[in-house]
Structure 1
Amino acid sequence: MGPAAGSGTARYLVYFQYLGTEFNGVAAVRGSQRAVGVQNYLEEAAKRLNSVVPVKFTISSRTDAGVHALCNAAHLDVQRRSGQPPFSPEVLAEALNAHLRHPAIRVLQAFRVPSDFHARHAATSRTYLYRLVTGCHRPDHLSVFERNRCWGLQADCLDVVAMQEAAQHLLGTHDFGAFQSAGSPATSSVRTLRRASVAPDPGSLFILPQENRLQFWNLEFESQSFLYKQVRRMTAVLVAVGLGTLMPAQVKVILESRDPLGRHQARVAPAHGLFLKSVLYGSLAGENPASVQRESEETPGWPKNPHLETGSPKARGLE
């Protein structure tokens, strides 16, 4: 629960993005370690808001070291001094960006939300994007602008039809224990995978015409929540299918085994190809925060009047 009504504290939902290459994940690293998380920089910037109570970011979706986010989310409380009105969401976002000390982090947009809103628990959908590139026979075959942003495969092609067939076995509600890495805090490994797609990417803007041997591929996975490293493990298995190491039907066998230590499912795709693409809150928008819409009153766990204040009705996505 958030602060009591009348405390002068305003809660905000903030969308932000980052390139994860230089971070030890999104979560803050506390103590004297040299490693640092995205959250450390966000909270350092928030100190300049001069909140009566130190500002802490509650992150919607934790990402590992090297993983990127096109759009992650967090909630935070800001308590201004007596007599000072709450910051408008626009001012809050601008202030955070102005004081961020790392160029690989950007606040996209902010919204006022009720005091009991929770960025992690209220999320109804998360989508991850994994980027592959084939024909990358050596690391130096990949553009310097694409390094650390995709998984370069030496193979010249993938059996995408087989990968799409294999992905169908993952859809629906299952025990995904076979794709869970050790260290997961989840009490249950049952999840519902709503979407698993494999499709060619139109191509990178950073690849020169003479480098047309390279072909990019996008894998997307959507669920309300995922297990620790579940997406990277599923990606590794689907790539094995694409390379002919596994048959599509074997993915069903792996899933039903619930064994995370098997020879194929223990493989984990590299972190640098993974992007958190969007976080949704019921009918609220995710990857495009500018189009946030009012939540349906029938959605459990969401207040009937979310009061997402961003200025004009158009900015609030109510038109």
Structure 2
Amino acid sequence: MFRYLINLSYIGTQFRGIQKNLIKGSLVSDDTSSVEGVLEIALRKLHPINDFKIKLSSRTDAGVHALHNTVHVDLERCNGRPYDEEQITRRLNRSFASQALSIRILSTQLVPMTFHARMYAKSRTYIYRLGLLRQQFCVGSGQHPLNRFVPIEEHDRCYFISHEHFDIERLKRVASSFEGYHDFRTFMATSRGNERQLDPSFTLRRIQSITIERGTCMASAFNRDLAEKFYDYWDIRIKGRSFLYKQVRRMVGAWIAAAAGRITERDVYEMLTIPSSHSWCDQSVVVPAYGLYLCHVEYDPADLSISLDELPRSTTVEETSVATN
């Protein structure tokens, strides 16, 4: 049996998240509504002889996208040799393409049996994409959200907002105070069945960096000029080792509320420094999932390196490059 790290990307719009769904306490056997579920179905087509289970590095909610996420899985072939990594990538991508699924395997890598996709992750980087209507278009008739132009290529890919007095510098200022080690309980959404969230130390996390930079319109050439006429794009980049349930979306929502003047900078400061579900300001929002992207899961290369001693003695370079079952 051998362990494989699978690097994948996906558009989360059509999925109910990465994790398989539960029905009355048990996992759905063939779950086509989750990324994990369709990945499991595709892996079965390799005909491993073991009953495998996919281990996720990062759980993304319904509608959240991933430019780079990772899982690991243990697979055993009937001949005892490892699968060829490139063949796994091709076979999985062929399966997803045949079903018109918005998933792409980036690469597959043989890793040590001691490796764990979640536990060995050094950092995770998220980006929240924001499309801010320019101030000269925020006033006047015909500016109802459902009347405004939004490039169809960006539908469910970017959060478009308008506010006449939106202050991007204030957003940057309040966001910068979240860097470092804090108790983020105010920004955690509770999840059923997670007893760890009752532990006072569970909500202590470190954010390594937060940057807010000009973003880029992803519309095609036909729509790009019009989109850039109406909107300023901003990328909110957040890097940390781990995050709480919906933490990123709730933090960004609070920063946007402050930038729009719905809450004060003092309100944001109190939410951060008085960690409690009761500290959450009702005028804050939880921003939509579709603007959020998991961009990168980082590992120490040494943790991914497999020694020759971990390969079967009879395995040669030629044998490991044969086609999968």
Q: Same fold (TM over 0.5)?
A: yes
Distance apart, 1:92 and its partner CA: 1.3
Alignment of 1:227-266 (within 5 A): 227-261=244-278, 262-264=280-282
Alignment of 1:1-319 (within 5 A): 9-29=1-21, 30-31=27-28, 36-82=33-79, 84-100=80-96, 101-135=99-133, 137=143, 138-139=145-146, 141-155=149-163, 158-183=166-191, 185-186=196-197, 187=199, 188-206=202-220, 207-211=223-227, 212-261=229-278, 262-264=280-282, 267-282=285-300, 294-295=301-302, 302=303, 305-307=305-307
- Cα displacement string for residues 216-265 of structure 1 (whole angstroms, at most 9, x for unaligned residues): 11111111000000000000011112212233343221101112242248
Structure with a larger share of its residues in helix? 2
**1:316 alignment counterpart:** none
Aligned amino acid, residue 252 of structure 2:
T
Q: 1:13 to 1:47 in 2, by over 3 A?
A: same
Between the aligned partners of 1:246 and 1:108, the Cα distance in structure 2 is 42
Between the aligned partners of 1:150 and 1:162, the Cα distance in structure 2 is 21
Q: Pairwise CA RMSD of aligned residues?
A: 2.4
- Cα displacement string for residues 22-75 of structure 1 (whole angstroms, at most 9, x for unaligned residues): 111001123389872111110100011110013322111001111111111000
**1:4 alignment counterpart:** none
Aligned amino acid, residue 285 of structure 2:
R
Runs of 4+ in 1 over 6 A off after TM superposition: 32-35
Aligned amino acid, residue 87 of structure 2:
V
Q: 1:166 to 1:209 in 2, by over 3 A?
A: same
Distance apart, 1:102 and its partner CA: 4.1
Distance apart, 1:205 and its partner CA: 3.4
**2:320 alignment counterpart:** none
Asked whether the equivalents of residues 46 and 55 of structure 1 are also in contact (C-alpha less than 8 Å), the reply is: no
- Cα displacement string for residues 65-91 of structure 1 (whole angstroms, at most 9, x for unaligned residues): 111111110001110003x52112111
Aligned amino acid, residue 281 of structure 1:
Y
Between the aligned partners of 2:306 and 2:177, the Cα distance in structure 1 is 37
Q: 1:264 to 1:192 in 2, by over 3 A?
A: farther
Between the aligned partners of 1:66 and 1:72, the Cα distance in structure 2 is 14
Between the aligned partners of 2:108 and 2:28, the Cα distance in structure 1 is 29
Between the aligned partners of 1:109 and 1:36, the Cα distance in structure 2 is 23
Distance apart, 1:125 and its partner CA: 0.2
Aligned amino acid, residue 81 of structure 2:
P
Q: Which has the larger radius of gyration?
A: 2
Asked whether the equivalents of residues 129 and 236 of structure 2 are also in contact (C-alpha less than 8 Å), the reply is: yes
SS at match of 2:6: strand
Percent identity for Structure 1 against Structure 2: 31
Asked whether the equivalents of residues 17 and 72 of structure 1 are also in contact (C-alpha less than 8 Å), the reply is: yes
Aligned amino acid, residue 157 of structure 2:
R
SS at match of 1:127: strand
SS at match of 1:11: strand
Structure 1: unaligned runs, 5 residues or longer: 1-8, 283-293, 296-301, 312-319
The size of the alignment, in residue pairs, is 283
Between the aligned partners of 1:156 and 1:103, the Cα distance in structure 2 is 39
